């Protein structure tokens, strides 16, 4: 009978430890940032030099903490050679907040085909969200840079 008491007591202790550890595991938390073009189907793909064009893009913070984003918008040729910078700046966003930025650009000289690229760098502001105070380890595949782009071709008249 005393052997059975030890087995039951051990099982209760193991179950209690397991439940305590389980309460420290953040469930369903996957921090991420969305970066996308607004009206991507209406992006101008055939353009003329010295004509101004525009587009809008949105940054949506789903990182479960306040974030600072550094963005850089540039144009590159078909060989990924830098042509010129369109814009750069910083945006502060709280958790689940988003902002849409409108940009204007024009190509000052002739080109054949070019890529307009937006790159954002994430800055966590050294704030530790509640879920990271639990049993949390960083994802080795977590991106600190996100980029999107579209291609344009010159219309020769």
DSSP-derived 3-state class of residue 100: strand
Does residue 2 form part of some domain?
A: no
Check which CATH number belongs to the domain holding 143 and give it.
2.60.40.10
Q: At 41, phi and psi to the nearest 5?
A: -75, -15
Confidence grade of residue 55 (pLDDT, cut at 50, 70, 90): very high
Does residue 148 form part of some domain?
A: yes
Does residue 17 form part of some domain?
A: no
Does residue 51 form part of some domain?
A: yes
What's the chain's length in residues? 157
Does residue 64 form part of some domain?
A: yes
pTM of the model: 0.76
Does residue 20 form part of some domain?
A: no
Question: Mean pLDDT across the stretch 16-42?
Answer: 80
In this prediction, residue 20 carries a pLDDT of 78
In this prediction, residue 57 carries a pLDDT of 97
Domain count, the chain: 1
CA–CA dist 24, 117 (Å, integer): 40
Residue 111 contacts residue 155 (beta carbons within 8 Å): no
Non-local (6+) Cβ contacts of 114 within 8 A are 75, 76, 77, 78, 83, 107, 151, 152, 153, 154
Q: Which domain holds residue 144?
A: 32-154
């Amino acid at each position: 009978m005393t052997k059975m008491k030890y087995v039951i007591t051990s099982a209760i202790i193991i179950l209690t430890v397991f439940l305590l550890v389980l309460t420290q595991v953040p469930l369903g938390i996957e921090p991420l940032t969305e970066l996308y073009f607004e009206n991507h189907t209406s992006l101008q793909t055939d353009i003329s030099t010295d004509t101004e064009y525009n587009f809008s893009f949105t940054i949506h913070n789903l990182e479960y903490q306040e974030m600072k984003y550094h963005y850089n918008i540039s144009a590159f040729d078909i060989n990924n050679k830098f042509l010129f910078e369109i814009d750069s700046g910083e945006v502060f966003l709280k958790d689940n907040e988003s902002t849409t930025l409108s940009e204007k650009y024009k190509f000052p000289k002739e080109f054949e085909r070019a890529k307009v690229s937006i790159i954002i760098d994430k800055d966590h502001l050294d704030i530790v969200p509640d879920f990271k105070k639990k049993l949390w380890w960083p994802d080795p595949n977590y991106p600190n840079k996100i980029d999107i782009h579209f291609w344009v071709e010159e219309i020769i008249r």
